[in-house]
Amino acid sequence: MPDRPPHPAYVIDQMISAKAIAARVEALAREITAHFKGTDKLVVVGLLRGSFVFIADLVREIELPVEVDFLEASSYGDSMHSSREVRILKDLRGEIAGRDVLLVEDIVDTGFTLHHVIHLLQAREPKRLRVCALLDKPSRREVAVKADWTGFEIPDAFVVGYGIDFAQRNRNLPYIGKVRFLEDG
């Protein structure tokens, strides 16, 4: 008898094209550049792992001096559902006190992770702390938190691509796709 795959069979239906993402990233970068105009250096903090593709594209479009740092926080593990317990797996390497900081998130879902990270960073006394999220699912929000800039508002669907994974798969897709699970049989 063959081994069962560790994850159920699924297909991915494209929701947001690579072209639409690129255009939105350019627009977000223009807005962020205007907002932080005059800063000596913008510290762009990417929330790993899901934001790495987004942050790479975004910082190339921001017309300001930038320093990039990363923080890894998790409330999911390999699950599709938030555990509500946020763990910091990798902290920042640099200092942010007195600096302009842009926190970049892949997707705001329940809000637990973002809420926790915002409070963690605010305690380090940045000059300004703003948030940019590629995707927002307001229908899933359990904690009052909102990004200053959002790429796309999406319905309550499990999505992958453009850095966002399902159990470490599908991060490499150039678009955002909705995961549709297939029936057994």
CATH classification of the domain holding 123: 3.40.50.2020
Query: Considering the domain boundaries, does residue 132 fall inside one?
Result: yes
Q: Is residue 83 part of a domain?
A: yes
Has residue 141 been placed in a domain? yes
Q: Tens of pLDDT along the chain (185 residues)?
A: 344 455 678 999 999 999 999 999 999 999 999 999 999 999 999 999 999 999 999 999 999 999 999 999 877 544 455 556 788 899 999 999 999 999 999 999 999 999 999 999 999 999 999 999 999 999 999 999 999 999 999 999 999 999 999 888 999 999 999 999 987 43
Q: Read off the tokens for 53.
A: 């593709």
Longest dimension (CA), the chain: 65
| Domain-embedded: residue 34 | yes
In a domain, residue 126? The reply is yes
Query: In what order do the strands lie in the sheet containing 159-160?
Result: 10-16, 176-181, 159-160
Catalytic residues: 109
Assigned domain for 159 exists: no
Q: How many domains does the chain have?
A: 1
Residue 144 C-alpha from the chain's centroid: 17
- Quote the distance between the C-alpha of residue 65 and its chain's center: 21
Residues spanned by the domain of 32: 18-154
For residues 100 and 67, the answer to whether their CB atoms sit within 8 Å is no
State the residue for tokens 């850095």. Answer: 163
C-alpha 92/C-alpha 101 separation (Å) is 12
For residue 108, report the phi and psi dihedrals to the nearest 5 degrees: -100, 115
- The H or E element that residue 10 is part of is strand 10-16
